[in-house]
Every structure is written in C-alpha cells, then in structure tokens.
C-alpha cells in the first residue's frame, strides 16, 4: 500500500474530492495546514490578497491506497491541483506497511477499501 500525501491550494479541494470520489476512493483525511516552499519569504497570492509571510494556508490530503492504483490517484491529484502558478503544492508518496480497520480487526489491503 502507498500513502499519497498532497499539499494543495485550498480552493482546489472540492474539485479534487470530486475526481477522487469518481475513482472510487473509499476514504481520505484532510487537514488545514500552513507551509512554505522555495519562495520562502517572498509573496504569493492567496485569495486575491498579497501577503508577505513565511507560512501560506494549504490543505493536506492523505490517502492510503492499494499499490495498483497509487499512480493513477497521484496523477489525478496532480492534474487537478495544477494552476501553473507558484505554490500549486507537492505530492509525497511513501510505502505503508499495514492498516488496521479498528471495528473488525481487518488488516492490510482489505482494511483500506
Ligand atoms: N520539501 C517540502 N517538505 C514539506 N512540505 C513541503 C515541501 N515543499 C513544499 N511543501 C509544502 O507544499 C506547499 C506548497 O509548496 P510549493 O508548491 O510552493 O512548492 P515549491 O517547491 O515552492 O514549488 P513552486 O515553485 O511551484 O511554488 C508548501 O506551502 C508546504 O506546505
Ligand atoms: Mg512555492
């Protein structure tokens, strides 16, 4: 299994949720986060206002998926999150050793979906 962690522009969340839903994704976690990329200390447009700050509001999406759909999920997030402007975000992909569905005790891919 893979963990796909995407840090995106907040206004893209609804659209990304919709495309992931169409892919049949069975669960995800989102968090309101703040961060910066390589323009640290420089300006970035956020909701039409120019802020000169280190930390910009972002949304982090975490999804655990079976290996065989990880590429597709990452590609769809990449395509949907992209505006072509700075601050579009990043996608981190890593291996997940195990998953437990607490209610049933199920483990592994069977517990993901
Ligand atoms: N190396 C990193 N580690 C952890 N989080 C990161 C990293 N790089 C970026 N982020 C997170 O992703 C958000 C968006 O990053 P951003 O898209 O600005 O990256 P970038 O490398 O500066 O690319 P760009 O030049 O397109 O802006 C940051 O606000 C931060 O929350
Ligand atoms: Mg940046």
pLDDT of residue 38: 85
pLDDT of residue 48: 64
The CATH number linked to 40 is 3.30.70.120
Is the shortest distance between the CB of 10 and ligand 1 below 6 Å? no
For residue range 22-76, list pLDDT tens digits in order: 999 989 999 999 999 887 646 666 666 665 667 889 999 999 999 999 999 999 9
At residue 11, does pLDDT exceed 60? yes
Residue nearest to atom 26 of ligand 1 (CA): 86
Domain count, the chain: 1
Alpha-carbon distance of 66 to 44, in angstroms, equals 35
Domain that holds residue 85: 2-111
Residue nearest to atom 14 of ligand 1 (CA): 89
Q: What's the 90 CA to ligand 1 centre distance in angstroms?
A: 6
What percentage of the chain has pLDDT greater than the value 70?
A: 88
Phi, psi angles (nearest 5°) of residue 76: -65, -40
Yes or no: say if 20 and 28 are a contact pair by the CB < 8 Å rule. Answer: yes
Is the shortest distance between the CB of 39 and ligand 1 below 6 Å? yes
Average pLDDT of span 3-13: 98
């Amino acid at each position: 299994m893979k963990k796909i962690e995407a840090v995106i522009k907040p206004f893209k969340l609804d659209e990304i949720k919709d495309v992931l839903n169409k892919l049949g994704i069975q669960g995800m976690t989102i968090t309101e986060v703040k961060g910066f990329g390589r323009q640290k200390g420089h300006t970035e447009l956020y909701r039409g206002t120019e802020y000169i700050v280190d930390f910009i509001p972002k949304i982090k999406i975490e999804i655990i998926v079976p290996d065989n759909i990880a590429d597709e999920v990452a590609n769809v997030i990449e395509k949907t999150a992209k505006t072509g402007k700075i601050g579009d975000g990043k996608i981190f992909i890593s291996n997940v050793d195990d998953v437990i569905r607490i209610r049933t005790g199920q483990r592994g891919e069977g517990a993901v979906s």
